[in-house]
Amino acid sequence: MTEGNGVGVTKEPPVDANTLESLSSPTTTARLCFKISLTANVEVNWDTVLVDRKLYIEIPASILPDGSRESFVTLLEYAEETLHCSHVIVCFKKERVDRTSLIRTFMYMGFVVVPPCSPMAPKCSDALFMAYTIDEDDDDDDEG
């Protein structure tokens, strides 16, 4: 079943890790690919870029297999506990058919839409960015 306008025509390449590396300030950057096995035959790959304690995650254009949400939560936990990230930022194309569903899902998980003028949003007019702030004060709450 084909979808709406522009079927089979690509005006610009999809958002990828190279786009995420275009952040304007000089920073420490690392490309990371997380491969999380859901079953013996099913694996989900998350392409990411780590930029100064911010993990940028590209949401694949294809439909993700069942269990992808659990693998994403595993990735969030790794970003917090192992990489000690301050933020996790997801990005995906604005014109995706499932954009509304993705926004709703990520907002449910605690993400907020990043304004295009924010320093956390690379200059990419066709991508939407959503950020999750990792609470660094968890250890301080035990002092009272």
Residue 26 pLDDT? 53
Could you tell me if residue 7 is inside a domain?
no
Query: What CATH number corresponds to the domain at position 65?
Result: 3.40.630.60
Could you tell me if residue 41 is inside a domain?
yes
What span, in angstroms and rounded, lies between the C-alpha atoms of 131 and 111?
A: 5
Beta strands in the chain (DSSP E): 29-37, 43-51, 54-58, 87-93, 112-113, 127-133
- Domain range holding 124? 17-135
Amino acid identity of residue 75, one-letter, is: L
pLDDT in tens, 16-58: 555 555 543 456 788 988 888 878 887 888 889 999 899 999 9
Residue 4 pLDDT? 42
Could you tell me if residue 64 is inside a domain?
yes
pTM of the model: 0.73
Q: Which two tokens stand for residue 69?
A: 């949400």
Could you tell me if residue 60 is inside a domain?
yes
Could you tell me if residue 84 is inside a domain?
yes
Count of domains forming the chain? 1
